[in-house]
Amino acid sequence: MPRSKSKPKKVVQSKLWLYCEGTKTEVNYLNKYKTDKHCNNRLVSLIRVPQISQNTPKSIVDRVVEEKRKSSSHKGDIHWVIYDRESITKYSEKLHSQAIKKATDNNIKVALSNVCFELWILLHFGFSEAAYSDCKALTSSKAFKENIKKVGIENYEKGQADIYTRLKPYLNDARKNAEKLVIQNKGSYPAGTPTFKMNPSTDFHLVLDAIDNFVK
């Protein structure tokens, strides 16, 4: 008898998984960026990590590891977790080291902003190397308040729904300024220094690059 033809194996397309804490501004920014640049692509998933009473870098990564385990991810998928450094008095370097090790051990990339995501917002308006002790110090600074008014925001609040739309005309500048900051930090800190020890610094542009590269 003739052999029956074997069915071709179904090729599973890889996905890009982005994990953000809660409902913060980063989530709104990434959602709008994805819709604006890659509206028809379903291979990029943005996951809001459930909040708990005590949010530490380690607890955020722990929840992402659990979310990854429960998700329908496959070999070849790429996973990012996005969170802020926050004040050094709030989260120790030890906690951040533990979080990064846990992420690395579970093949999860970390995009961290020091001191917070609002540094990325500030970079839309120009290069900045000013260090801030915490996010409140950044958002209450003269530089931040004066620049954010340029896009019609008088009183900035976390979770600003239309933040990407307002900042979109300055996006290329933000990317260039973030890359410039990376280069400057490499010259100012010893090789291998993690982002959480470099103030200011941000990896957020790398997440946008990951989205663009993934959906090409």
Residue-wise pLDDT for 28-44, tens only, equals 999 999 999 887 777 78
Distances (CA, A) of 20 to 93, 143, 155: 21, 26, 24
Q: Give the model's pLDDT for residue 67.
A: 85
Domain edges within the chain = 16-214
Helix 204-214 × helix 171-188 angle, to 10°: 120
**Residue 70: CA count within 13 A, CB half-sphere:** 8
Q: Give the model's pLDDT for residue 61.
A: 94
Q: Give the model's pLDDT for residue 162.
A: 93
How far apart are the two ends of the chain, measured CA to CA in Å? 46
pLDDT beneath 70, residues of the chain = 1-12, 22-23, 50-54, 216
Q: Which of 169, 139, 174 is nearest to 154 (CA)?
A: 139
Instruction: Please list, residue by residue across 188-214, b when 16 or more beta carbons sit within 10 angstroms of its beta carbon and e when fewer do.
Output: eeeeeebbbbbbbbbbbbbbbebbeee
Q: Give the model's pLDDT for residue 24.
A: 78
DSSP state of 162: T
Residue-wise pLDDT for 164-203, tens only, equals 999 999 999 999 999 999 999 999 999 999 999 999 999 9
Report d(CA 211, CA 13) in Å as an integer. Answer: 15
Q: Is 51 helix (H, G, I), strand (E, B) or coil?
A: coil
Query: Using an 8 Å Cβ cutoff, are 100 and 197 in contact?
Result: no
Q: ∠44-47-52 over CA atoms, to 5°?
A: 165
β-sheet bridge partners, residue 82: 20, 111
- The token pair at 3 is 């052999």
Query: Using an 8 Å Cβ cutoff, are 180 and 3 in contact?
Result: no
Q: Is 137 helix (H, G, I), strand (E, B) or coil?
A: helix
List, in order, residues 6 or more apart from 94 with CB less than 8 Å away: none
